[in-house]
Structure 1
Amino acid sequence: MASSNIDFEQLVRGAGDAVIVCDAEGAIVLWNKASERIFGFTEADALGKSLDLIIPERQRQRHWDGYNKTMETGVTRYGADLLKVPALHKDGRTLSIAFTVSLLLGDGGQVTGIVAIVRDESARFAEDRKLRARLVELEAKTKTGDN
């Protein structure tokens, strides 16, 4: 199917994962419905704001160091890697998210922004923690001979 037949606005609007686009300065310029569902901020809350809206304070410096380096060099070390980090919900709770990033380039090849496709993995991460704790408990019982 030729890309001219695809309604990309409809695709982004209907995606089950958050689609967030930031400009070269890090201001949010696109925030779809799934972003609202995952993070609790409406489009009006998010547009024009910094990503600090959803980045926990302790991760901000590292994030911005990498973001600014990517804007300067046009290179991201993450490529198609799935990144797993904490994030903030509007109500103040911490989320566990997984996401990929892609660079957006202007006509001259300069980086004009970044798109992130984000999924809330909080429930799965919590379940994984419970399973690991149960495994440790069972291994400890096995070593002591308890049943």
Structure 2
Amino acid sequence: MQASIDYEQLVSAIGDAIVISDAKGAITLWNPAAERMFGYTQAEAMGQSLDLIIPERLRGRHWEGYDKTMATGITRYGSDLLKVPAVDKDGKAMSIAFTVALLRGPDGQISGIVATIRDETVRFQEERALRKRIAELEAKVNAAA
């Protein structure tokens, strides 16, 4: 026995950002977690390019991969976690991790991509501080030897 699922409620309630973009990269869904994470309201994000959250220096590489995925229907990030920099509404740098799934229209053609995104900024900063501390300790040990 399978219960009916209210997908709109699920997308709204989930703690991770859910962002859907069409084949051209325009945002078509922006859930409340995306609002909290990136600072843009749904009204501000809808219809906008994903450039909204992509650092300018990485846009060329992003769109190269995006267009290739749209053309081939293949992405390795359906199961592999992608960790990349992002920016919020205030231009503040973030570290995010996400997976994607390709969406297909009734004709079977790819119509867009859904990304499930988590803010990893604090964890990334903690890991960087730990790596720095390890390097400092190793330098002390090597200097003493």
1:73-113 Cα distance to aligned partner (Å, 9 max, x none): 21223331100000011011110000000000112211011
Taking only the aligned residue pairs, the percentage that are identical comes to 63
SS, match of residue 10 in structure 2: helix
Q: Which amino acid aligns with 2:36?
A: R
Matches of 1:41 and 1:47, distance apart in 2 = 10
Runs of 4+, deviation exceeding 6 Å:
none
- Report the counterpart of residue 21 of structure 1 in structure 2: 20
Matches of 1:5 and 1:40, distance apart in 2 = 32
Q: Which amino acid aligns with 1:92?
A: G
The answer to whether the aligner puts 1:112 opposite 2:111 as a matched pair is: yes
Structure 2: which 5+ runs fail to align? none
Structure 1: which 5+ runs fail to align? none
The answer to whether the aligner puts 1:78 opposite 2:77 as a matched pair is: yes
- Report the counterpart of residue 138 of structure 1 in structure 2: 137
Could you state the TM-score of these two structures normalised by the residue count of structure 2?
A: 0.95
Number of residue equivalences: 145
Could you state the TM-score of these two structures normalised by the residue count of structure 1?
A: 0.94
- Report the counterpart of residue 63 of structure 1 in structure 2: 62
RMSD of Structure 2 on Structure 1 (CA): 1.4
The answer to whether the aligner puts 1:39 opposite 2:49 as a matched pair is: no
* Of 61-70 and 121-130, the range deviating more from structure 2: 61-70
- Report the counterpart of residue 9 of structure 1 in structure 2: 8
Q: Which amino acid aligns with 2:109?
A: Q
Matches of 2:77 and 2:16, distance apart in 1 = 19
- Report the counterpart of residue 126 of structure 2 in structure 1: 127
Q: Which amino acid aligns with 1:61?
A: G
* Of 43-52 and 60-69, the range deviating more from structure 2: 60-69
Give 1:65 shift: 1.3
Matches of 1:107 and 1:92, distance apart in 2 = 38
